[in-house]
């Protein structure tokens, strides 16, 4: 036994002949903030689905607190891991506080007047929207409402808890992105949460994560601190991006300068920035 909250061992997922994930293995503890990076089609979403327990890998296992995901009863799993999907369309005129109340645990679920609803909306700076119709919100506001809902689901569970966030801040403006991620990072740092965040914004991933997992074509290319993973060489190889590290009083900052005129495999990018 070890103290890993999440243990991913040799996970392989195939779709027909194609491997969406090939023998992905890593472990993570509560308190860690993982950024899952990689170009489109790298297997990030597939890995998130495997971590959430939505799909059973063709090979390998995912265990949470030492227990394989398929062995968790649905309701018990829901008390320990919470998932925010990329898209959560709602067809009904639901109110913001009602959306958050859908995440409340046990018999409290659905009670929009619950104190925790206001508290979590406040934490993400959207308490003033609680009476609004969810469909009338902007994309960024909707994402913050869902973050409150996803947290409500596991807020009062004994720690540790797993948060899986799939591009959960993509619709926020840059300042809000940093603010929301700082809020989440603070929760993780207290040792209560392991957060896995899928992200496309490399500097943001660097600012948020304690550890970066780089996926490419279904393989885990790198798993280390942001500074060690996000090297100019690797970003050029994986994304075809030109980048460098800048010195800053608070520590080095990743600066993405643009796409390479020609990616390493010789393909011409759609549009090369100057």
Partner 1 sequence: MRAAEPRRWPVAPTLAALAGLLALGMVIAALAGPFSVAPATLWRGVWEGGEQPGYLVVRDLRLPRILMAALVGAALASTGAALQGLFRNPLADPGLIGISAGAALGAVSVIVLGGGALGDQALPVAAFAGALITTLLMWRIASRGGETRVALLLLAGIAIGAIAMALTGVLTFLADDNELRTLTFWAMGSLAHSRWSDVALVAPWLLAGIVLMPLLARPLNGLMLGEQAALHLGHAVPRAKRAVMVLGAVSVGAAVAAAGQISFVGLVAPHLVRLLIGVDHRWLIPGAAALGAVLTVLADTLARTLVAPAELPIGLVMALLGGPFFLVLLLRRHGV
Instruction: State the residues that interact with partner 1 by CB under 8 A.
Output: 52, 54, 74-79, 82-83, 85, 88-95, 98-99, 102-103, 109-110, 131-133, 135-136, 153
Identify whether the C-beta of residue 48 lies closer than 8 Å to the C-beta of residue 24: no
Q: Nearer to partner 1 by C-beta: 43 or 240?
A: 43
d(CA 86, CA 36): 14
Whichever of 197 and 254 has its CB closer to partner 1, that residue is 197
Could you give the maximum distance between any two Cα atoms of the chain, in Å?
A: 58
Buried b / exposed e over 155-191, threshold 16 CB at 10 Å, is bebeebbbbbbbbbbbebeeebbbebbeebbebbeee
The least distance separating partner 1 from the CB of residue 128, rounded to whole angstroms, comes to: 11
Q: For residues 34 and 154, which CB has a smaller minimum distance to partner 1 in the complex?
A: 154
Find the shortest distance in angstroms from Cβ 230 to partner 1.
30
Q: How many CB atoms lie within 10 A of CB 22?
A: 18
Q: Least distance in Å: CB of 99 to partner 1?
A: 8
For partner 1, the closer CB: 74 or 175:
74
Nearer to partner 1, 89 or 249 (CB): 89
Beta bridge partners of 37: 214
CB of 193 to partner 1, least distance (A): 16
How far apart are CB 121 and partner 1 at their closest, in Å? 15
Chain center to CA of 177? 13
């Amino acid at each position: 036994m070890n103290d890993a909250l999440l243990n991913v061992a040799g996970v392989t997922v195939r779709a027909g002949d194609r491997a969406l994930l090939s023998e992905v293995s890593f472990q993570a503890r509560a308190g860690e903030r993982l950024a899952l990076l990689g170009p489109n089609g790298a297997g990030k979403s597939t890995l998130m689905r495997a971590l959430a327990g939505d799909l059973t890998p063709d090979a390998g296992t995912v265990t949470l607190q030492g227990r394989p995901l398929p062995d968790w009863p649905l309701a018990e799993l829901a008390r320990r891991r919470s998932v925010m999907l990329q898209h959560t369309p709602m067809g009904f005129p639901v109110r913001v506080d009602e959306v958050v109340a859908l995440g409340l645990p046990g018999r409290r679920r659905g009670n929009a007047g619950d104190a925790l609803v206001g508290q979590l909306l406040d934490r993400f700076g959207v308490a003033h929207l609680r009476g609004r119709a969810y469909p009338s919100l902007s994309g960024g506001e909707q994402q913050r409402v869902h973050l409150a809902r996803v947290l409500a689901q596991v807020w009062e569970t004994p720690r540790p808890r797993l948060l899986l966030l799939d591009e959960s801040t993509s619709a926020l403006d840059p300042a809000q992105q940093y603010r929301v991620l700082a809020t989440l990072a603070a929760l993780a740092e207290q040792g209560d949460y392991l957060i896995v965040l899928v992200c496309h914004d490399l500097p943001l991933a660097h600012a948020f994560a304690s550890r970066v997992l780089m996926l490419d074509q279904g393989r885990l290319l790198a798993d280390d601190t942001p500074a060690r993973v996000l090297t100019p060489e690797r970003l050029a190889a994986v994304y075809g991006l030109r980048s460098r590290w800048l010195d800053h009083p608070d520590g080095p900052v990743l600066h993405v300068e643009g796409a390479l005129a020609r990616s390493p495999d010789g393909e011409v990018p759609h549009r090369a920035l100057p």
